[in-house]
């Protein structure tokens, strides 16, 4: 994090930039985390920033290989004045807010992917029942049927992990590592489901007419956003080796 906020008599001066901001081109309000510690102090603070504030510059929608319905842009802050009352929470306590936000994001962001996996699986089931090769539905062949089985396993395991997270939050407990595991597993299962769907549909899956290629392009991004899967593994490793309860 390189964006910084400097204290003034009237508030804070924000300078820096944020890349790949989902809904950046259409958002009215941003929650911005910026470094506010002195020297090597890595403390940071969360600010509520309105797009109309002087010094807020919103970039053009970035063209991506997928996620066409989610506009994405860079946001630049050039001597942007932030009023004192726009501090979210407490000054220099942004890490607590970020930890909570990431926990919820990795849950809410990936719950819809379970539904997407089920949608893809149902399309595949319909296809393997109607598509025939050598006089038999292709679902009769294990090379195909096992892919459907893997999809079902991915969906049910994802739902089981979600139930655990729901139980923890209902009991007012932290689920930070659980949501990292959830994000990692669901994203990998979602990508595998879409790749297997393309194999099941064959050449048809590679055409735009059948939408399987779009499903795959959208799925690939989920291993990157909300923290890359490699970062999730770092979190899981650190919690596990430090003796934290899973």
Q: Which residues are catalytic?
A: 105
What Å distances lie between residue 183 and 14, 128, 152, 187, 210, CA to CA?
Answer: 31, 29, 18, 6, 27
Q: Which tens digit of pLDDT belongs to each residue from 76-104? A: 999 999 999 999 998 988 888 988 888 98
pLDDT band at 244 (very low <50, low <70, confident <90, very high): low
Q: Which tens digit of pLDDT belongs to each residue from 9-62? A: 989 999 999 999 999 999 999 999 999 976 555 689 999 999 999 999 999 999
pLDDT score for 41: 59
3-class secondary structure per residue, the chain: CCCEEEECCCEEEEEEEEEEEECCCCCCEEEEEEECCCCCCCCEEEEEEECCCCCEEECCCCCCCCCCCCCEEEEEEEEEEEEHHHEECCCCCHHHHHHHHHHHHHHHCCHHHHHHHHHHHHHHHHHHHHCEECCEEHHHCHHHHHHHHHHHHHHHHHHHHHHHHHHHHHCCCCCHHHHHHHHHHHHHHHHHHHHHHHHHHHHHHHCHHHCHHHHHHHHHHHHCCCCCHHHHHHHHHHHHHCCCCC
Q: Which tens digit of pLDDT belongs to each residue from 193-230? A: 999 999 999 999 999 999 999 999 999 999 999 899 99
Taking Cα atoms as reference points, which of 28, 29, 41 lies closest to residue 1?
41
How much of the chain exceeds pLDDT 90, in percent? 82
pLDDT score for 157: 97
Residues 6+ apart with CB under 8 A from 218: 66, 67, 116
- Give, rounded to a whole angstrom, the gap between the first and last alpha carbons of the chain: 28
Taking Cα atoms as reference points, which of 51, 5, 19 lies closest to residue 225?
19
pLDDT score for 246: 43
State the average pLDDT for the chain.
93
Residue 107 pLDDT greater than 60, yes or no: yes
pLDDT score for 124: 97
Higher-confidence residue: 96 or 152? Answer: 152
How far apart are alpha carbons 186 and 181 in whole angstroms?
A: 8
What the chain holds in terms of domains, given with CATH numbers, is 4-91 (2.40.110.10), 97-241 (1.20.140.10)
């Amino acid at each position: 994090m390189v964006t910084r906020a400097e204290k003034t008599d009237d508030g804070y001066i924000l300078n820096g930039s944020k890349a790949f901001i989902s809904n950046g081109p259409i958002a009215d309000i941003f929650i911005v985390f910026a470094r506010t510690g002195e020297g090597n102090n890595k403390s940071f603070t969360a600010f509520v920033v309105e797009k109309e504030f002087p010094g807020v510059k919103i970039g053009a929608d970035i063209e991506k290989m997928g996620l066409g319905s989610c506009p994405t842009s860079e946001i630049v802050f050039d001597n942007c004045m932030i009023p004192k009352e726009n501090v979210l929470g407490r000054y220099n306590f942004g890490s607590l807010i970020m930890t909570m936000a990431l926990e919820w994001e990795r849950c809410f962001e990936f719950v819809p992917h379970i539904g997407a996996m089920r949608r893809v699986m149902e399309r595949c089931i319909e296809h393997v029942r109607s598509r025939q090769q050598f006089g038999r539905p292709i679902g009769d062949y294990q090379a195909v049927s096992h892919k459907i089985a893997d999809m079902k396993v991915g969906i049910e395991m994802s739902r089981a992990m979600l139930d655990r997270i729901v139980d923890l939050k209902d009991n007012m407990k932290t689920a930070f590592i659980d949501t990292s595991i959830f994000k990692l597993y669901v994203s990998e299962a979602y990508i595998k489901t879409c790749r297997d769907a393309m194999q099941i549909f064959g050449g048809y899956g590679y055409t735009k007419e059948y939408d399987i290629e779009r499903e795959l392009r959208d799925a690939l991004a989920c291993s990157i956003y909300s923290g890359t899967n490699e970062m999730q593994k770092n979190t899981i490793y650190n919690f596990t080796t430090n003796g934290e309860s899973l």
